[in-house]
Amino acid sequence: MLGERLKRLRKIKGYSLSELSELAGVSKSYLSYLERNIQTNPSLQFLNKIAVTLETDLDFLLNGESEDDKPEVLVLDEEWKRLVQRAIAEGMSKEDFIHFKEYMEFQKWQGAKKSKSSKEEEEEA
């Protein structure tokens, strides 16, 4: 659904609701309603602002598919296979991997946030 795609893309980009609403110039509360599927019929103007900010297109937001994002077959090279097999052999579970991925996304977000505040401080000086 639209709300799930919005939330997933927002998190992938490392934005909070506040950050995305500010960057896109849209209402934070309306964006929240969309993500929670309380509102389900946003205007094309609203969706376009979000799509541009999230670096995607309207087709993906509305349908989950995009001409630019044609499904591609992901083939793991041998190094990836060995890394995954080793992690599993050492006791890593799917849940551990998910937590690790979320941690890495958080670290990326923290770095982007620090970088943004550093740039703002430089501009003020």
pLDDT digits (tens, 9 = 90+) for 52-111: 999 888 888 888 765 454 444 456 788 888 998 999 999 999 889 889 988 998 888 888
Q: What pLDDT, on a 0 to 100 scale, did the predictor assign at position 26?
A: 94
Residue matched to tokens 């690790």: 100
d(CA 40, CA 122): 41
Q: Which residues contact 42 (CB under 8 A, 6 or more apart)?
A: 2, 30, 34
- pTM of this structure: 0.51
pLDDT digits (tens, 9 = 90+) for 7-59: 998 998 899 999 999 999 999 999 999 999 998 889 889 999 999 999 888 88
| Contact (Cβ atoms closer than 8 angstroms) between residue 34 and residue 10 | no
Q: What pLDDT, on a 0 to 100 scale, did the predictor assign at position 31?
A: 94
pLDDT over 90 percentage in the chain = 34
Q: Which CATH architecture has domain 2-63?
A: Orthogonal Bundle (1.10)
